[in-house]
Amino acid sequence: MKNKTWATWLAFAGGALGLHRFYLHGLGDKLGWLLPVPAVLGLYGVRRVQLFGLDDQLSWLLIPFLGFTVAGCALQAIVFGLMPLEKWNARYNPGLPDDSPAGQTSWLTVGAIVLSLLLGAVTLMSSVAFSFQRYFEYQIEEARKISQ
């Protein structure tokens, strides 16, 4: 029996590690094993910023991987939380009746949806803004070098 509230919270809190995928599809889920890869690459980009400063070009490329992974998992949590009871049970609890309590939405589910919307939007916009800002600043600096 797969609980919708539990899956929503796993997608929100541990989505970048693939925990929601393992909960819903088992340890054999290939996407669940691939999800940590972009998250680790993004964390490596954050570490490069700490070590080499904001002018490190590789970090501009790597940081959005973390942001997109977190935002995608937050979107998945929203989709899980808003899925109707019948559809949830048909997809993840096929042996149970359509009105089984495992697919019900509670206040805990709504809380996960709200937090996922907040975190996902902030993470997505922050990672895009950081990378584009650094890229355009680099372009301006290169143009200055050429013009001198």
Give the model's confidence band at 37: pLDDT under 50 very low, under 70 low, under 90 confident, else very high. Answer: very high
Distance (Å, whole) CA 139 – CA 64: 19
pTM of the predicted model over 0.85: yes
- First and final C-alpha spacing in the chain: 68
Distance (Å, whole) CA 31 – CA 37: 10
Mean pLDDT value of segment 90-106 = 85
Helix axes 57-82, 107-147, angle to 10 degrees: 160
- Token pair 């680099």 is at which residue? 138
Note the pLDDT of residue 48.
94
Other C-beta atoms lying within 10 Å of the C-beta of residue 113: 20
Residue 125: both structure tokens together = 């916009």
Task: Report the largest interatomic distance among the alpha carbons of the chain, rounded to a whole angstrom.
Answer: 73
Give me the DSSP letters along 101-118: GGG---HHHHHHHHHHHH
Residue 122 clears pLDDT 90, i.e. is over it: yes
